[in-house]
A and B are shown apart, each in its own frame.
Chain A
Amino acid sequence: MIEWFKRYGREIKPQIEELHYSFFIFRKNPVTLVSLLTILALISIAVLAPYTVPYPQSALGEVHPYEAFEPPSMKHLFGTDEAGRDVFSRVLVGTRISLYIGVLVIFLALLIGLPLGIIAGYVGGKIDETIMRITDMFLSFPPLLLALALSVAMGPSLVNSMMAIAIAWWPWYTRLARGQAISIKERPFVEAARAVGVGKSKIMLRHILPNSLTPIVVQASLDFGGVILTAASLSFLGLGAQPPTPEWGLMVSIGRRYFLNSWWTATFPGLFILITVLTFNLLSDGLGEVLNPKLRRA
């Protein structure tokens, strides 16, 4: 038992050092530091919100028609919406939904896109051509439009919109992964693996994939914001989350109608969309710096 721990400790020690180094870089740049803290805040909100917001029932759909359109006050920090629900609670619970969407969609997109790209790049030939033709087809559509079309086709719901966005998003990772695979397969350590007799799939898994991740991780963190924005846009158009789900885009969409008299119903969810997307953008910059091998100590 102790043996196992000792061994495991030795194996992950370098990873821990890497983490330490990454935090150092983060600390140096004030912008990335702020974005990191903000993301941690958002994650904690997402986790704790349903248990700690003042009016959890607001998020679930309980209505108080007599309390509709109350402006922000001590009782309702962000005011109430058209159904009398506490906007503050709804926005905070919405954080969970948005982050959830981001994680799931990107995960799905990577699941499809990464392997396709790596196989296309490493194996080459006809397989590469086939995969890239399909990828190019998808790439020729602007992602929002494609997601839109797919959502319409699949019917408006949160789950459908997530799938639609994932389908619109995967080709970008394929292209990135393919580029990486092509340059990495020329490296001596890959040739060494071939010389030893390691099979194609093992090479792709152990050698190509781990070394391709850098630009993909940077892109994925950038995309987080983009995906959340797209999901919000779809909900805004009525194609994503349906009422009474406290999804930000949906809240902006409904609030828009009452904006002139009750600005708070649309503004606060919109603000959170802004903060979240901006934060992930800045984070991806910081990550890019961290993962850039030029900064690695020799």
Chain B
Amino acid sequence: MKNAKERLLEIKNLIISFYSYRGIVKAVDVDNLVLYKGESFGLVGETGCGKTVTALSILRLISNPGIIERGEIIFNGEDLLKKSEQNMREIRGKAISMVFQDPMSSLNPVFTIGDQATRVIKIHQNVGKKEARERAIRILELVRLPDPRKIMGVYPHELSAGMRQRVMIAMALSCNPDLLIADESTSALDVTVQAQILKLMRELKEKISASILFVTHNLSVVAQTCERVAVMYAGNVVEVGKVREMFKNPRHPYTIGLMDSIPKLGEKAKELRGIEGMVPDMINPPSGCRFHPRCPHTMNVCKTQKPKMIEIEDGHLVSCFLYGESRQV
């Protein structure tokens, strides 16, 4: 069933480094990551795991001191890393668009919502002013904003955070992208507003054909909105799989540790178990498997060799020596 789906995005052998005073930060080292058309995919991990850098690299938004050392990002059959800046500008906002975390600083305070929404449409679609306005109003309706016509004339600071985030989502969807990247797009919102936005994202998934990549540190958000998920740690992807499967049966020790750390409602008596140790120094990441210093099941091989990504069951991949080599991917 999976093979019937077409691949939208494939990241291969991506290495991104940041050159700093103290040395080279080996921020991202992803062997393989695949996104299919029309799916909602979660990229989850804690601070410093490299998920945001990975997401930004898809849009080639990595700048000094960060450098994409090597790799391929294949989108709709073409390698984005080989495209010119001019080509990338045509892709950004149109084929791939992004919604950021802070709704307050993502919108320009001196232009009205209408100005900003129509500008995006005019840049990527060859339509006149009037038509662009109509399209803008239609997408504002799509994100369930009350009275879209009125909102067109309003400035960002007059809207609440939740509404601003809806505007951002609308603008990101205005040109019918194939891929929408949501980078921690609900982390700055109150929990009741977040619930509304997540519900909106779920509804939108039904209506549009785009794939959505949710980048977040919040596993619960992923559980609520995504079909598949990849867990990142210290720049590596450690586990990928269907959400239902992963939450029922997490395999990688880091994923297990992460799930154990989440305080769950109704389980008060259970003591929260964190993960021993600290996030490693990315200038000198641990040898072999980057998680080995903190792993409760470390073996000798973990310290010297980096585990490969193996498929242990349909669609569920892990990068860990605890799991035998059934099928190499």
Contacts and interface: CB of A to CB of B under 8 A. Distances in A.
Complex contact flag A–B (Cβ < 8 Å) = yes
Interface of A: 21, 24-25, 297
Interface of B: 20-22
A297 B283 CA distance: 12
A21 B20 CA distance: 11
Nearest to B25: A297
Contacts of B20: 297
Nearest to B283: A297
A64 to B, nearest CB: 55
Nearest to A296: B21
Interface of B is mostly: loop
B194 to A, nearest CB: 25
Nearest to B48: A298
Contacts of B22: 297
- Pick the 6 closest A-B CB pairs, nearest first: A24-B21, A297-B22, A297-B21, A21-B21, A297-B20, A25-B21
Contacts of A21: 21
6 contacts: A21-B21, A24-B21, A25-B21, A297-B20, A297-B21, A297-B22
Contacts of A24: 21
B315 to A, nearest CB: 37
Nearest to B22: A297
A25 B21 CA distance: 8
Nearest to A20: B21
A295 to B, nearest CB: 8
B25 to A, nearest CB: 10
Contacts of A297: 20-22
Nearest to B23: A297
- Of A21, A24, A297, chain B has the most CB atoms within 10 Å of the CB of A297
A183 B107 CA distance: 25
A297 B20 CA distance: 8
B235 to A, nearest CB: 16
B185 to A, nearest CB: 24
A171 B264 CA distance: 57
A96 B246 CA distance: 73
Nearest to A21: B21
A167 B177 CA distance: 63
A21 B21 CA distance: 7
B66 to A, nearest CB: 15
Nearest to B20: A297
A24 B22 CA distance: 10
A49 to B, nearest CB: 37
B47 to A, nearest CB: 10
A135 to B, nearest CB: 31
A297 B22 CA distance: 8
A291 to B, nearest CB: 14
Contacts of A25: 21
A85 to B, nearest CB: 49
A276 to B, nearest CB: 30
A255 to B, nearest CB: 47
B63 to A, nearest CB: 14
Nearest to A28: B21
B22 to A, nearest CB: 6
A24 B20 CA distance: 11
Nearest to A24: B21
B234 to A, nearest CB: 15
Contacts of B21: 21, 24-25, 297
B285 to A, nearest CB: 16
A297 B23 CA distance: 11
Nearest to A25: B21
A293 to B, nearest CB: 14
A23 B218 CA distance: 40
A268 to B, nearest CB: 41
Nearest to A295: B21
